[in-house]
Amino acid sequence: MSVITKIRSIVVDALIPAVNNKKGVVVFDGLPAYIDENTELPAIAVHISDIKPSGEYLDEDLWRATLHITVLEQMGTPDSELDDWVSNIVIPVIDECGALARRCCSIDYSGMEYPRNDASAACSVVDVLYDITYEGK
């Protein structure tokens, strides 16, 4: 299993029990190309982007990337409800995820985005971003 696959799996495994009390929440390992708004919302997608060597040391296999935890809700859901997902589920899960802390060298919250474009037109979205570094082995 690749390192980024393992990191995503750790986050997905931590999120599932946290959303168990919310009816019908789907947790995706990766960013889905299509979401059926009738059967797959609300949802959380865990994906990683901007993967590159850290460049800090020539003889070390250290990588940096952006970890995304993307919350997707029905179109028209107010940002305040998305904020509740972030403050009550996403941030506490990442803060308390010991397996992720052991797998990554660093995990730094870097912000949130509310994308508004054609790709996200079918639902309301908040993307929570973390800068992570990890060893490639």
CA distance 80 to 61: 40
**How, if at all, do strands 43-53 and 26-29 pair?**
parallel
Number of domains in the chain: 1
CB atoms within 10 A of CB 70: 21
pTM: 0.90
> Which pLDDT score, from 0 to 100, does residue 37 have?
83
How does pLDDT run along the chain (137 residues), one tens digit per residue?
599 999 999 999 999 999 987 778 999 999 988 888 888 899 999 999 999 987 766 566 889 999 999 999 998 899 999 999 999 999 999 999 999 999 999 999 999 999 876 555 678 999 999 999 999 87
CA distance 25 to 45: 11
**Is 68 in a helix, a strand, or coil?**
strand
**Structural domain range at position 113:** 3-135
Which residues are registered as beta bridge partners of 106? 133
> Which pLDDT score, from 0 to 100, does residue 90 have?
96
CATH code of the domain covering residue 95: 3.30.70.1700
> Which pLDDT score, from 0 to 100, does residue 106 have?
95
> Which pLDDT score, from 0 to 100, does residue 94 have?
97
> Which pLDDT score, from 0 to 100, does residue 39 have?
85
For the chain, the residue count is 137
